[in-house]
Amino acid sequence: MTILLPGATLGVMGGGQLGRMFVHAAQRMGYFTAVLDPDEGSPAGRVSHWHVRSDYLDERGLATLAGHSDAITTEFENVPAAALAQLAQQRPVAPGAAAVAIAQDRAQEKAHFNRCGVPCAPYAVIAGEAQLAAVGDELFPAILKTARLGYDGKGQVRVASRADLRAAWESLKRADCVLEKMLPLALECSVVVARGGDGAMVHLPVQRNLHRGGILAVTEVHAECVPAALAARAIEAARAIAEGLQYVGVLCIEFFGLEDGSLVVNEMAPRPHNSGHWSIEGADVSQFELQVRTLAGLPLVQPRQHSPAVMLNLLGDLWFRNGATTAQTPDWPGVLALPGTHLHLYGKTEARPGRKMGHLTVTGADVAGVRATALAAAQRLGIEAF
């Protein structure tokens, strides 16, 4: 890739919080930014030099973004791959449309994991009546997931037995689905990798994640959070998946650590990830700076974590504690009085239950102190202890 020096303009498809943090990182390094998002009040659009307000497949909007930008990335995986392919005819695009298309389809994604030699949970693809009838009994209990457009627990139904499968499929409007066997989990973790156009690859430390209701609630990153041997296997697997895609950009791979000590891959996100937000304060190179570097063709250096970190996801539910029917501002002064707390709010004007409004990262000198502070912050905000 051609090296783009500060002063160039970096474009991003999507105007959510990931785009906002990318824009902040790019601007800090001296780049101009352009965002395409149809929402006039999008978090990234509010802080970018240019905000192209159009649909993701609007040809005029795509041409305008390309006209502003020297290279273009994406901030969420459901940007149409066709739009990225169209942009790539005019400007460098990273990640490319082919890699994003695989990440947008669970069946293609799992096939890619298999090609890379990375194990995933036993599964079956269901795209019609014949495949529904052919599902083996050994897959139950299972989770039925739509092949496309599912995120944060949406488009998923737990299926205890074959008797429940048809009803579950009907509830998902007979969409193409993947049925995954439920396995005995010991932990969930993720790895953020960055790969440049020259094939150079670096990664953040392995991140231990806690999900509630299908949405990430807590991420911990320190030497004690994931067994060393399991962490090493996760990093090796993540690098193999990125290499198999010939990926350029930032990629997050989510894994399950099983009770027997084995590791299986869950899914991938072709962008920075909620579980990597801690890196803004906890590492010398954040996932968003890595995204800037891969897009601009700048050298990649291995990030160094300089502090244990715990990240708390701040959902809109926190604005409606104790049965409140109107939004009430959380106790930010009380939280920020705690040492090592770093508050990020995403500029969303309306709090709603389940909506990602921001995150809080806690850093400090030692693991025990960071966890204690994070638990105190969680208590003040009304977040369940972990």
Residue 95 preceded by cis peptide, ω within 30: yes
**Whole-number Å distance between alpha carbons of 151 and 211:** 12
Is the overall model pTM greater than 0.85, yes or no?
A: yes
What is the fold of 185-381?
D-amino Acid Aminotransferase; Chain A, domain 1 (3.30.470)
The pLDDT value given to residue 155: 85
C-alpha 312: how far from chain center: 15
Name the token pair of 356: 């990602």
Percent of the chain with pLDDT over 70: 99
Q: Rounded to whole angstroms, what are the CA distances from 80 to 93, 101, 103?
A: 13, 8, 11
Q: Kindly report the CA angle at 234 between 377 and 106, in degrees rounded to 5?
A: 90
Looking at residues 168-186, what average pLDDT do you find? 96
The pLDDT value given to residue 8: 98
Looking at residues 8-29, what average pLDDT do you find? 98
The CATH number that domain 122-181 falls under is 3.30.1490.20
* pLDDT tens column, 307-345: 999 999 999 999 999 889 999 999 999 999 999 999 999
Whether domain 9-93 has CATH 3.40.190.10: the reply is: no
Element (H, E) at 26: helix 17-28
Hey, where are the domains in the chain?
Answer: 9-93, 122-181, 185-381
The pLDDT value given to residue 308: 98
* pLDDT tens column, 74-118: 999 889 999 999 999 999 999 999 999 999 999 999 999 999 999
